[in-house]
Amino acid sequence: MAKYFPEFSESFPRLLSSLRGRSVAVVGHARPDGDCIGSQVALARVLILLGSPAVCVNPDPVPRRLAYFTKGVTFLGTDQALLLPEDTASVFVDCADHSRAGERLKLRFPKPQGTVDHHLSNGGFAEVNIVDSGSAAACEILAGVFLDAGITIDTDTATALYAGIVTDTGQFRYSSTSQRCFMLAGELVSRGASPAQAGFELFERESAGKLRLLQHFLASLSMELGGRVCIGTLKSGIYAETGTTAEDTEGLVDFARCVDGVDVGVLVEEKPDGSFKASLRAKDPLCRLDLVAGLFGGGGHACAAGLNRKTGAGEFRASLLAALEDRLKVVDADRAARAR
């Protein structure tokens, strides 16, 4: 009996049987986070257990703090993945569409056998789409469908899944955190995942440079739209100056969001070539930041979205604030309607 995801009780076993005996690439997105790495590792470990030679493929290296969660699996970069046998199947995890893994991997795996994802904007680009935007994490979906299908979850798989749930729920705080997250986290702990060890690896191993980066970010913060939007910028060259890398930006935007009265926190990272990346975070899913990011070619979740632009850093701040101002008017109208 499917307890956690009855809607996938037919499709997930169908995905597994389509992969049986085949080599599989479990593909994740660029700049991978805990949910991406956790879901890649967990699915690859289960496929290996079921007899399919599976490897993880990611356009970027595994971040230092997530290496602990990769036991028993191999990660390949894009160049190495292009050398995989022609008939290698693919499953994309935590990716709203397969371009999130980069254009070269999209071309290499044009018609994936499966996707396991929780992004609102995932339109279902694979043969079997295990997509639920009501889930806090791709790891929540995987944990549920594994248990529903009676698949054995060993300690290292449980640990990888737990890491994904704990990161994508903001340590069980974000609005996406449901009773199901706690039930599944409990099942994973009963199978050997250690909240203390996972918490240590994820949140208590920051680099000293991260604190210097945080100082720069906090110094750059400015309140906009009457204190409802808080924006911080990391100037190009800041990584070299502080001895950090792009992975050290993880969590910075939460300092912008967590201020009382702020609806949306923003982190803008400027790059030497004039391109930039923006991360948007909201407290309330009514903000639908996936729609705001979509105006600039990005996407994501209602409370967490992002975008990358090649040019236009100069004008971006004003355009973004105009878009957020429009969005917050809709939010205010929605809130007023709910209060009535």
Phi/psi for 286 (5° steps) reads -60, -25
Q: Which is nearer to Mn ion, 96 or 214 (CB)?
A: 96
What is the 3 state secondary structure string of 174-230? CCCCCHHHHHHHHHHHHCCCCHHHHHHHHHCCCCHHHHHHHHHHHHHCEEEHHHCEE
Backbone phi and psi for residue 110, each to the nearest 5 degrees, phi listed first:
-65, -30
Q: Between 317 and 336, how does the x/- string for binding to Mn ion read (CB under 5 A)?
A: --------------------
Q: E strand or H helix at 115, and its extent?
A: strand 114-117
Number of residues that bind Mn ion (CB under 5 A): 4
The C-alpha atoms of residue 87 and residue 83 are separated, in whole angstroms, by 11
Instruction: Identify which range of 28-36, 47-55, 98-106, 207-215 contacts Mn ion by CB under 5 A.
Output: 28-36
Q: Which of the ranges 131-139, 193-201, 220-228, 232-240 carries the binding residues for Mn ion, by CB under 5 A?
A: 131-139
Please give the Cα distance from 265 to 278 (Å, whole number). 10
* By CB under 5 A, residue 94 contacts Mn ion: yes
Question: Tokens standing for 65?
Answer: 């703090």
Nearer to Mn ion among residue 138 and residue 229 (C-beta): 138
Site for Mn ion in 134-193 (CB under 5 A): 138, 168
Nearest residue (CB) to Mn ion, 231 versus 306: 306
**Widest distance between CA atoms in the chain:** 60
Contact code string over 30-49 relative to Mn ion, x by CB under 5 A: -----x--------------
The residue range among 62-70, 130-138, 146-154, 214-222 that interacts with Mn ion, by the rule CB under 5 A, is 130-138
Q: Minimum CB separation from Mn ion for residue 173, in Å?
A: 15
Nearer to Mn ion, 112 or 170 (CB): 170
User: Site map for Mn ion, 285-324, x if CB under 5 A?
Assistant: ----------------------------------------
Tokens of 160: 């990888």
d(CA 231, CA 94): 26
**Chain residues that interact with Mn ion, rule: CB under 5 A:** 35, 94, 138, 168
